[in-house]
């Protein structure tokens, strides 16, 4: 009796899990401040950039891209050819969401790099070819993730996504700060999951994670490319404005990841990771990497840093809960305002924390 009452309810829950625009094609997730974005920039300004002071390094990176080390890497093997119905309920929902967010982020890189490759062609040949080859990598990454979604009977319509998403405009220097960080944080996220599952293979619930080791090397090379581009434009790394912007972008990228991941801690738990520890590790590593190019980085080892992120994550949880409460929109918004203000306040305090000057650090290392 209990069972027969339960089943229809379970079925209806399963059906209502995802909104579809066509059978098997998932509607893109609604945009919020925390969802992956699509970018566009001033192509003319980028085409006019003189990269001669660091052209050697950029050409060396171009050679690496041409070598195409992962040419044969993204091939689905027999381990994918099985039913994934045993990943069900909330784990399945979180898993598909993880694939979708990753696919959207990779695809966003593809679109931006592809367009840059096209617009810089004939005007800035080294950069144009680098962007084309990076778009090749991102297309593989996005395609591989989208194929993985099809194992869960869903896919993203990437053409529809291209047309339906809003594009955020950033001047070239902001594109460089943001993409450098997203490539490096991507590298640390992938490699940390890979290393964890390497030592805990029992948690590897789906074969895509086995591909992360070589995959993240693409992201690392992409990050190195943006680092070399920034070094070719010393004015975007040297003055007082650069220091303020680097702090801003570091904090935005870290806080966005932290709030997103703690909201989805059950997903990380399903692969045996503690989302909070995972994020703190990724933040530390990305901050260390950034110290090689940014004039300042954040004092992430100061206990206050994580404390304020934790307060923000708790406030974000409240905002999400209120959002789902089914009350009138205006009531929800009124109840959310104090929590939004709290996050704003915590982020402001984090932004104002004394940063770490990296220039003297680099001189010591040398
Ligand atoms: Fe990628
Ligand atoms: Fe990348």
Q: Residue 21: what are its φ and ψ, rounded to 5°? A: -90, -30
- What are the tens digits of pLDDT across the range 223-243? 999 999 999 999 999 989 999
- The rounded Å distance from CA 209 to ligand 2 centre is 17
pLDDT in tens, 320-359: 999 999 999 999 999 999 999 999 999 999 999 999 999 8
Beta-bridge partners for 356:
297
CA of 91 to the centre of ligand 1 (A): 24
Task: Starting from the CA of residue 112, give the closest ligand.
Answer: 2
d(CA 65, CA 197): 28
| pLDDT on residue 33 | 63
Q: How many CB atoms lie within 10 A of CB 317?
A: 15
How much distance in Å is there from the Cα of 67 to the middle of ligand 2? 16
In whole numbers, what is the pLDDT of the chain averaged over residues?
Answer: 91
Provide the whole-model pTM: 0.90
The strand pair at 296-297 and 155-156 is best described as: unpaired
Residue 340: CB atoms within 10 Å = 15
Of 175, 157, 155, 49, the residue nearest 96 (C-alpha): 155
Joined tokens for residue 18: 């995802």
**Sign of the dihedral defined by the CA atoms of residues 264, 321, 104, 94, in that order:** positive
Rounded distance from Cα 143 to ligand 1 centre (Å): 10
Q: Is the pLDDT of residue 96 over 70?
A: yes
Q: Please determine, for residue 252, whether its predicted confidence score (pLDDT) is greater than 90.
A: yes
Q: If pLDDT is split at 50, 70 and 90, which confidence band does 144 have?
A: very high
pLDDT for the residue 365: 55
Nearest of 197, 200, 229, 203 to residue 216 by alpha carbon: 197
Element (H, E) at 356: strand 356-357
- pLDDT at 281 > cutoff 70: yes
Q: What is the pLDDT of residue 28?
A: 73
The bound ligand whose nearest atom lies closest to the alpha carbon of 190 is 1
Counting beta carbons within 10 angstroms of the beta carbon of residue 252, is it exposed (0 to 12), middle (13 to 18) or buried (19 or more)? middle
**Residue 3 buriedness (CB in 10 A; 0-12 / 13-18 / 19+):** exposed
Asked whether 203 and 272 are in contact (CB, 8 A), the reply is: yes
Give the CA distances from residue 325 to residues 35, 254, 264, 335, in Å, rounded to whole numbers and listed in that order: 21, 28, 18, 11
Q: Looking at residue 12, what is its pLDDT?
A: 35
> Residue 10's pLDDT band (boundaries 50, 70, 90)?
very low
What are the helix and strand counts (H, E) for the chain? 15, 7
Q: Which ligand sits nearest to residue 113's alpha carbon?
A: 2
Q: How many residues does the chain have?
A: 366
Which pLDDT score, from 0 to 100, does residue 34 have? 66
- The distance between the two most distant Cα atoms of the chain, rounded to a whole number of Å, is 77
Q: pLDDT band for position 15 (50/70/90)? A: very low
pLDDT tens digit string along 28-74?
A: 776 666 677 899 999 999 999 999 999 999 999 999 999 999 999 99
Mean of pLDDT values over 214-218: 97
Query: Which of 154, 134, 168, 151 is CA-nearest to residue 33?
Result: 168
* Residue 222 CA, ligand 2 centroid: distance in Å: 5
What sign has the CA pseudo-torsion 165, 109, 172, 356?
A: positive
Q: Which pLDDT belongs to residue 2?
A: 37
Residue ranges of alpha helices (H) inside 16-88 are: 43-47, 55-67
Contacts of 162-165 with C-beta under 8 Å, sequence gap 24+, read: 162/111, 164/28, 165/28, 165/31, 165/37, 165/38
**Cα 184 to ligand 2 centre (Å):** 8
Percent residues over pLDDT 90 in the chain? 82
Average pLDDT over residues 203-231: 97
CB atoms within 10 A of CB 102: 22
**Residues 86, 92: Cα–Cα separation, whole Å:** 9
- Token pair for 136: 């090749």
Separation in Å, CA 288 to CA 195, 215, 274, 284, 356: 19, 21, 21, 6, 11
Distance (Å) from CA 218 to ligand 1 centroid:
7
- Interval between CA 179 and ligand 1 midpoint (Å): 11
CA of 106 to the centre of ligand 1 (A): 5
């Amino acid at each position: 009796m209990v069972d027969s009452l339960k089943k229809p309810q379970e079925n209806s829950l399963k059906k209502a899990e995802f909104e579809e625009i066509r059978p098997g094609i998932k509607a893109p997730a609604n945009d919020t401040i925390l969802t992956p974005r699509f970018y566009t920039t001033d192509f003319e300004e980028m085409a006019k950039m003189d990269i001669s002071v660091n052209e050697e390094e950029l050409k060396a990176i171009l050679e690496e891209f041409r070598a195409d080390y992962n040419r044969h890497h993204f091939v689905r093997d027999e381990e994918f050819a099985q039913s994934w119905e045993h990943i069900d309920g909330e784990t399945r929902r979180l898993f598909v969401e993880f694939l979708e967010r990753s696919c959207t982020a990779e695809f966003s890189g593809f679109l931006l790099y592809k367009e840059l490759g096209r617009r810089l062609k004939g005007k800035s040949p080294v950069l144009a070819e680098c962007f084309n080859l990076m778009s090749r990598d991102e297309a593989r990454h996005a395609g591989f993730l989208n194929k993985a979604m099809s194992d869960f009977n869903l896919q993203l319509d990437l053409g529809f996504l291209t047309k339906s998403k809003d594009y955020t405009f950033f001047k070239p220097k902001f594109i460089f700060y943001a993409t450098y960080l997203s490539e490096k944080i991507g590298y640390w996220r992938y490699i940390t999951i890979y290393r964890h599952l390497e030592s805990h293979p029992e948690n590897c619930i789906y074969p895509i994670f086995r591909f992360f080791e070589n995959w993240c090397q693409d992201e690392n090379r992409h990050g190195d490319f943006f680092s070399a581009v920034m070094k070719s434009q010393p004015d975007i790394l040297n003055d007082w404005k650069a220091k303020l912007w680097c702090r801003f972008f570091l904090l935005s990228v870290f806080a966005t990841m932290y709030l997103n991941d703690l909201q989805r801690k059950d997903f990380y738990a399903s692969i045996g990771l503690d989302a909070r520890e995972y994020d703190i590790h990724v933040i530390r590593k990305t901050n260390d990497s950034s110290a090689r190019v940014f004039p300042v980085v954040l004092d992430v080892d100061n206990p206050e840093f994580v404390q304020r992120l934790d307060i923000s994550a708790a406030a974000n949880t409240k905002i999400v809960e209120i959002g789902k409460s089914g009350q009138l929109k205006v009531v929800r918004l009124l109840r959310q305002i104090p929590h939004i203000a709290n996050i704003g306040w915590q982020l402001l305090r984090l932004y104002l924390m004394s940063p770490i000057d990296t220039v003297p650090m680099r001189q010591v290392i040398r």
